[in-house]
Amino acid sequence: MLIALSLFGAGAALSSRLYAQIPPPFAAPTTPAAQRSSLKAVQTQVKWLQDATRTAPNYVTGGADKLWQQMQVVRGAYSAFKATLAPAQVAHGANDLAELDAGLDIIEEAFVGYQEEIAGGRSPSVALRGLCQVLTQSMGLWLRELNQSSNRLRVGWP
C-alpha cells in the first residue's frame, strides 16, 4: 500500500510538472525559420506514417489503430505548419491549403474502407495490407503537393 501511494504521489508530481510545461496559447511565429522547421516536421511525420505502413501488417492486432494514430499526428503537424504561415501566404495559398486539407480528409476515408472490407468478410490481414498500400501511395502524393504548394507560397523564405 505504501508503495502504491508513493508511486501515485510520484505520478501526480510528474504529471503536474508535465502540465506546467505546456505553453500558453500564443500565435505561432511566422518567421522563415519557424516555417521551415514546421514544414520539416510535417514531412517527417508523413515519412513516419509511410514507415508505419511497412510494419503495420506484422502486428497481430492493432495495426490499423497505429496507422490511425500516426495519421492524426500528421494532421496535427500540418495544422501547426499552417499556423506558421503569414496572413499574406494564407490568402495567396487559400486554394492550395484547402486542397491539402481535403486531401487529408479523402485519405482518411481509406480507414472507413478498411472497416467496410472487414465487415464484408474480408480477412483483416488482407484488408490491412490494402490500407497500407493506399496510405503509402496517397501520402506520397499528398506530400508532393505539400512541397509544391510550399514552394509556391515561398515557405521559409526571407
What tens digit of pLDDT does each residue of 19-47 get?
344 444 667 788 999 999 999 999 999 99
Say if residues 80 and 41 touch (Cβ distance below 8 Å).
yes
Report the CATH architecture of 30-152.
Up-down Bundle (1.20)
Report CA-CA distances (Å) from 83 to 15, 46, 57: 27, 18, 34
pTM > 0.85: yes or no:
no
Is 131 exposed, middle or buried (CB count within 10 Å of its CB: 0-12, 13-18, 19+)?
A: buried
What does the pLDDT look like over 39-77, one tens digit per residue? 999 999 999 999 999 999 998 789 999 999 999 999 999
The structural domains of the chain, with segments of one domain joined by +, span 30-152
